[in-house]
Amino acid sequence: MPYVSTNPSNTSDVVTEIELGTSRTFVDAAERARAAQREWARVPAPVRGQVIGNIGRLVEANAEQLAQLVTREIGKPIGEARGEVQEIVDTCNFFVGEGRRLYGQTIPSEMPDKQLFTFRNPVGVAAIITAGNFPVAVPSWYIVPALLCGNSVVWKPAEYSAASAQAFYDVFQAAGIPSGVFEIVFADGSETFTGLEQALQRGLVDKVGFTGSSEVGVRIGELCGRHLQTPCLELGGKNPMVVTEDADLDLAVQGALFAGFGSAGQRCTSLGTAIVHESVYDEFLTRFTAAVSDAVVGHPTGDVLYGPLLDEKFALAYEKYLGWIGEHHTVHGPTGRITSSHPRGGFTGEGGLFYHPAVVSGVRQDDELFLQETFGPIVGVMKYSSFDEAIELGNKPGYGLSCSIYTTDPDKAFRFRAGISAGMVSVNNSTSGAEAHLPFGGNGKSGNGSRQSGVWVLDQFTRWQSMNWDYSGTLQKAQMDTLEIEADLEFRLR
């Protein structure tokens, strides 16, 4: 079945056309990956690290072309697209060295003439399914460490970012990865799920990584659980930003603007609700709405806060979220699609899937707008009185990915960190902006506690193996044949 990927800034611009595969396509790719994995795992880890280094250098050499393609295909502002491509390079730079640091340990035994060891072994075949809002950075978080650790990979990217995915795959192939070790599959969600189910049933997949919605993450978690596997799930977010009475309000406004509307609010780490102390609520709201009003929205090749929504299906979903605005809310400025009959000042786009930024105040804790992820350019604002109330509100939606607090009081910063359920906490910074060597991931509806990036992701793509080597020439039984040293435990100083 053909699929046409179009430019969301100009939907008549066809970026690429691909043929979508079936569940059989996915299974076939998993079989090829299974056949290639053992030989790849035999390649010494430092040499696999050299391949990762090759990838990093190739991405650097093709950085501008890749960034421009990302901007054209998904509408991400070019500055953000260049940052996304740089994140692949950063990830590769980090994991080059990990090829020489896949450490195990030598552990003392309680027996004489016996040694204990631990080793990291690859899990086998990793099936990676990613969204298209970060079409090249997020896949690298999975694929680079998976390959480094000696796994083979079957990757299913989002259809609407197919051209970016193909370019990413082509760069990786040029780095010297053997045939079958890294497979790409284009398929829709239904066929992918069926293919994954069949591949798991046949023992072809040993690890699943998924970035996407919480709803689909639940289904994948259930599927993997039936096969006694623990997937790496990076799901949605409803990320709070707490603004305390002692916050630098100008800085908080800058953070809210980027967190709420960067990438048109289409990040799992985008700001959901600003939770503002009642004493500074009115002032924050005045400054924030002014900043949003002044922000430039438009064609992503220019200097804009954000461009279009990713794809038609996301525009339709966003229209539903706008329907959650109720009579008790106050909407600051226009909402909906930017058109000639519904214009925005300073708009630099033309046609396309462009939407007005929406700031909604008067949000209540039982609102859908407060409780559910809203994947688009909309930010809720609400009041709090006590600091404990702010933390409770931050946790209430049940997500736990990212959060932020703006304060000049260290005590509040650390109390917030200890009380909030999110996997990532920012102090006086945006809810978005992960670094490639820091653990990334969430809890609750945002994930199952798995982490990507840095050394922490190695636990997703390796399994610990222990070995004991007894060279005493006799059978020594742990806990039974151990040497005992007597002590006078009744001794007391007089």
Reply yes or no on whether the pLDDT at 433 is more than 90: no
Environment class of 30 (CB within 10 Å of its CB; exposed 0-12, middle 13-18, buried 19+): buried
Query: Which residues lie closer than 8 Å to 169 by C-beta, 6 or more apart?
Result: 155, 182, 184
Per DSSP, 160 falls in state G
CA 174 remoteness from chain centre: 26
The reported pLDDT for the residue numbered 4 is 96
The reported pLDDT for the residue numbered 406 is 98
By residue count, the chain amounts to: 494
Q: Can you tell me the distance from the alpha carbon of 433 to that of 269, in angstroms, rounded to the nearest whole number?
A: 8
Using one digit for the tens of pLDDT, what is the confidence trace for 169-226? 999 999 999 999 999 999 999 999 999 999 999 999 999 999 999 999 999 999 999 9
Q: Can you tell me the distance from the alpha carbon of 425 to that of 435, in angstroms, rounded to the nearest whole number?
A: 13
Token pair listed for 140: 């690298």
The reported pLDDT for the residue numbered 292 is 98
| Catalytic residue annotation | 234
Domain locations in the chain as residue ranges: 3-236+445-468, 239-427
Using one digit for the tens of pLDDT, what is the confidence trace for 254-275? 999 999 999 999 999 999 999 9
Using one digit for the tens of pLDDT, what is the confidence trace for 334-378? 999 999 999 999 999 998 999 999 999 999 999 999 999 999 999
Query: Which residues lie closer than 8 Å to 198 by C-beta, 6 or more apart?
Result: 23, 26, 27
Reply yes or no on whether the pLDDT at 435 is more than 90: no
Give pTM, 2 decimals: 0.95
CATH architecture of 3-236+445-468: 3-Layer(aba) Sandwich (3.40)
The reported pLDDT for the residue numbered 381 is 98
Using one digit for the tens of pLDDT, what is the confidence trace for 270-322? 999 999 999 999 999 999 999 999 999 999 999 999 999 999 999 999 999 99
Helical segments of 99-233, H only: 137-148, 162-174, 189-201, 214-225
Using one digit for the tens of pLDDT, what is the confidence trace for 58-104? 999 999 999 999 999 999 999 999 999 999 999 999 999 999 999 99
Reply yes or no on whether the pLDDT at 1 is more than 90: no
Would you place residue 43 in the very low, low, confident or very high pLDDT band (cuts 50, 70, 90)?
very high
Q: What is the mean pLDDT of residues 150-163?
A: 98
Residue 153 sits at the vertex; the CA angle it makes with 181 and 218, to the nearest 5 degrees, is 170
Using one digit for the tens of pLDDT, what is the confidence trace for 380-427? 999 999 999 999 999 999 999 999 999 999 999 999 999 999 999 999
Reply yes or no on whether the pLDDT at 434 is more than 90: no
Q: Which CATH superfamily includes the segment(s) 239-427?
A: Aldehyde Dehydrogenase; Chain A, domain 2 (3.40.309.10)
The reported pLDDT for the residue numbered 404 is 98
Relative orientation angle of helices 78-98 and 137-148, to the nearest 10 degrees = 10
State the residue for tokens 């939770």.
275
